[in-house]
Structure 1
Amino acid sequence: MDCKIKLPRELKAKVMLWTDVSFHDMEVIEKSQSIPDLESALCGVFGVDLPEPKRGVLLELYVETVLFCRQHSFKKEQISALLSIIRSIHEANTETPLNNIEQCVKYSKELLLCHSVRRPPFSVNIFSFQEVESILKYIHNNYLRHYKLYKYIFTPKVKLDLSLTYSGTSDHTVEGSSAPEEEAETDESSVTEQDAASTASTADLKALVEQEVRKQMKLVSGQLDQTIREKEKALQLNGALNSSQPSLKAKK
């Protein structure tokens, strides 16, 4: 079993029109009006065969995407492409347990660009500028804001197995002697005291090192959480700025 952890990487966006959801699949999805019917249809289309809670979370993501498309009156090809885009972003996020929020944000923007500019065979224009803007808001609010939650559910937990080796400690050996019995007992008592002192010193050193390691791990964990929070704030600010641009242009 390969236990290597994948490192975050840059992903290349490509056109995903009818990639996962065919025209026939879209007809089945459109006929499904209730949530259970939608879940059943999407489960068959994407072949979702996962244990709970992964199955429920993933199907809910796909169902919410279909409902969003219906709310904006998207066409069949648009729904098919957006479902594949959401699936691809989710797979990019969950391919590694490490932080790859920057790569996911960049990848999602490039995917939408591939479907909003006519430049065959590299991109097609099935989404307008306004539709791309609304899709970006949807992806941010419904997926990227919950980025850590999806990663926690769908990626393996990484644990640090730390072992410490202490150098400079040696066993004390006592050689035989022809000294009187009392002197031998005195030497043995002295060696025992030295061993006890050495053991106590080693235990103190071990406790001190472990305490320092725990402190450093806690510090690193706090820094990672702060970095993720800053990224989320930046995403929210970016979304707010993008949403304000059309209104500013209209005023001009």
Structure 2
Amino acid sequence: MDVNVQVRRPLKPKVLLWVDVSYHDMQEIDQIQSIPDLESVLCRVFHIDIPEPRRGVLLELHVQTVLFCRENRFNREQTSALLSIVKCMHQANTETSLSNMEQCFEFFSELLLCHSVRRPPFSINLFNSAEVTRILKYIHSTYIRHYNLYKYIFTPQVRLDLSLTYSGMLEEEDIVLEDTAVPDMEKVMEKESEELRYENQGIETQAPSTTGLDVEVTTPGSKSELRAMIQQEVREELVRVSGQLEERLKESADHLNSALASLQPSLQGNK
């Protein structure tokens, strides 16, 4: 099993016109009306060769993008560029099991800027301001809203294997008493009966040492109680970490919502 977790890499936006979907591919896509035929063409164009259910989810993502472009009457250049932009955003999300939702949305916004502002050769004005706003709303209400589901389906699950070792504590199978340290039960019973007889006679006696050895007795329940305490502490810590994670996800969602509102004025100022 691969125990390495890929970290997030720096993402560089670039112009993606005709990179994944060629002009000939767009001609074929425009002529297709049925969803199964459209899935077949997109599967060939994007070289999707992964098992289910990831294959179906990825095809659904591209099919819905094509339908969105048709609904907004995007031309072939716009549709080809938007398909590649969505593909790059999805790759940025699924290349690591770590949370990178904010980074993915920023990368998507930068890619969209590369296709909405005329600054050759760094960017082209393929989408106008109104189209950029519609695309942002569409991506936010579809992909970003289900970001965690895409992360769960397309990335390996990371598990924390926690092992605690305490110095000075023996395992149960290591606790072995030597024969010389075990007192003779018959002698102990005789001494107890003798002490009891002396006490009844009003004679004070001093109990002698049985073996002359100091034996530390550990009750069987002490280790189980310690294990229960450790498990309780770990559970409480996991609950606390989960609460912090949910709070961070909520803050990220609020940040994305504010980014949608602030991106449009910046686009108008750059044009």
How do 1:51-70 and structure 2 match up within 5 A? 51-70=51-70
What's the CA shift for 1:224?
0.6
Q: Is the 8 A contact 1:8 1:103 kept in 2?
A: no
Percent of residue pairs identical? 55
Letter in 2 for 1:65: T
User: Structure 1 residue 230 and structure 2 residue 251: aligned?
Assistant: yes
What's the CA shift for 1:180?
7.4
- Going from structure 1 to structure 2, the CA distance change for 1:30 and 1:164 (only over 3 Å counts) comes to same
CA–CA distance in 1 between the matches of 2:3 and 2:13? 27
Equivalent residue number for residue 226 of structure 2: 205
CA–CA distance in 1 between the matches of 2:188 and 2:179? 10
What's the CA shift for 1:211?
1.1
What's the CA shift for 1:231?
1.8
Structure 2: where are the runs of 5+ without partners? 190-209, 266-271
Equivalent residue number for residue 169 of structure 2: 169
> What whole-Å deviation, never above 9, does each CA across 1:24-73 have from its counterpart, x for those lacking one?
11111111111111111111111112222211111111011111111121
User: Structure 1 residue 22 and structure 2 residue 45: aligned?
Assistant: no
Q: Could you say what secondary structure the match of 2:124 adopts? A: strand
Q: Is the 8 A contact 2:102 2:256 kept in 1?
A: no
CA–CA distance in 1 between the matches of 2:247 and 2:9? 21
Q: Is the 8 A contact 1:29 1:41 kept in 2?
A: yes
Q: Among 198, 217, 220, which residue is 1:194 paired with?
A: 217
CA–CA distance in 2 between the matches of 1:128 and 1:12? 22
User: Structure 1 residue 218 and structure 2 residue 236: aligned?
Assistant: no
CA–CA distance in 1 between the matches of 2:138 and 2:185? 87
Q: Calculate the TM-score normalised by the size of structure 1.
A: 0.85
How do 1:19-58 and structure 2 match up within 5 A? 19-58=19-58
CA–CA distance in 1 between the matches of 2:127 and 2:259? 21
Q: Calculate the TM-score normalised by the size of structure 2.
A: 0.79
What's the CA shift for 1:242?
5.9
Letter in 2 for 1:174: E
Q: Is the 8 A contact 1:89 1:104 kept in 2?
A: yes
Equivalent residue number for residue 128 of structure 1: 128
Bigger Cα Rg = 2
CA–CA distance in 1 between the matches of 2:184 and 2:152? 70
CA–CA distance in 2 between the matches of 1:184 and 1:156? 63
Q: Is the 8 A contact 1:9 1:103 kept in 2?
A: no
Letter in 1 for 2:223: T
What's the CA shift for 1:120?
2.4
Superposition CA RMSD, Å: 2.8
Aligned residue pairs, count: 241
CA–CA distance in 2 between the matches of 1:14 and 1:184? 88
Letter in 2 for 1:222: G
Letter in 2 for 1:27: Q
User: Structure 1 residue 151 and structure 2 residue 151: aligned?
Assistant: yes
Structure 1: where are the runs of 5+ without partners? 246-252
CA–CA distance in 2 between the matches of 1:122 and 1:239? 23
User: Structure 1 residue 73 and structure 2 residue 94: aligned?
Assistant: no
CA–CA distance in 1 between the matches of 2:2 and 2:178? 49
CA–CA distance in 2 between the matches of 1:57 and 1:100? 20
